[in-house]
Amino acid sequence: MTKPSQAVSAILDAISSARIALNKNEPGSRESLIDHSRALIATLEIPSEFIQRTFWAEPAQSAIIRLAVDVKLFQHLQEAANASLSLSSLSQKTGVDATLLSSLARHLVAMKLITFDNGAFHATKMSNDLAADNFQHGICYCYDVVRPSVNAFPAFLKRIKYKSPSTDGTDVPFHDGHKTQLPFFEWLVATPPHLHQFDSFMSAYRAGKPNWYDFYPVSERIIEGFDSSTSDVLLVDVGGGRGHDAASFAAQYTSHPGKIVMQDREPVIASLLAQGSSQCFQAEVHNFFTPQPIKGARVYYLHSILHDWGDADSVKILESLVPALKKGYSRVLLNEIVVNEEEPTLAATSMDLMMLAHFGVRERTEAELGSLLTKAKLRLVKAFSFPGVAESLIEAELA
């Protein structure tokens, strides 16, 4: 067994290497530095410190941050900028009793979220970033919606005798946590403003991360070889929601050949058209459980579609594409979190548990995705990934 001092030395060496990589702006270096820092804490902490951090400090921080949204704590600190705010000034602006506020804010200082110097509180880059509307909504969504679902895990799994939940989403931790029988998205709609908060947060979820086309050779594997006599469609974004991916791709490849088509359910498309859809792609109503109407397109792109569904439904979604594909030409691109069994990332395992809590489904390994493709008479050609990015790009074609 490695001695603790040896383990710490090895981690410190890794941190030093990651720091050098970060200074060189190497991809994944920031994430690597964070991961090594977590490893250092895990190696140095004793059990009582671990419990205190995990069950006292971090839950308390979450609760205070949720309260901070209601009293605009981060916004007030942001507006003060370099001037900072004394306890009495911050109390007056937030409406929180000064004695109470001193305990709440002091914990945020201890957690490195804000700072205290010369008798006043100061914002940090993180607290300023969290003041943005989309992250304020994300805080509310995560605390009010996600947290009760996750808290329900122990009692729920005990109730179902530690078996995997049903993948149809009818009996999952979410239902116990929120004491409802409604499916997750129906509940979001029925309990405003949760749906708005969810949509707002998800719009920023991948902000700052590379897109799939940043690490997938688009020119080589999509644009080159495009044959307009087969189809005038270059890319079909299947289940593309509000078209963020389609618009982003079109903006990146302004001189792309062919059309870009974004498909989703009728209410989504109707809402998009009512607001004036982008001219860079064509919006079309389509249910991805039904046969794909666009035949012979160069690419059929599915972003985080399969992770919402169990294996049987995922195979049906893939099978609905098969008759539309031209052998040796059409590609299916799955933009999905791919779980690495040997070195799972926090981003992957966290999302895995979110999907389990709310839908009874889970993120998959490359082998599991390959198995789904095989059942749908497709074959996995290659998996593309990028350092520090949770999602990979799986390329498939007709078997």
Instruction: Provide the annotated active-site residues.
Output: 307
* CA atoms of 269 and 280, how far apart (whole Å): 15
Longest dimension (CA), the chain: 73
Strand partners, 335: 303, 393
On whether the CB atoms of residues 370 and 383 are closer than 8 A, the answer is no
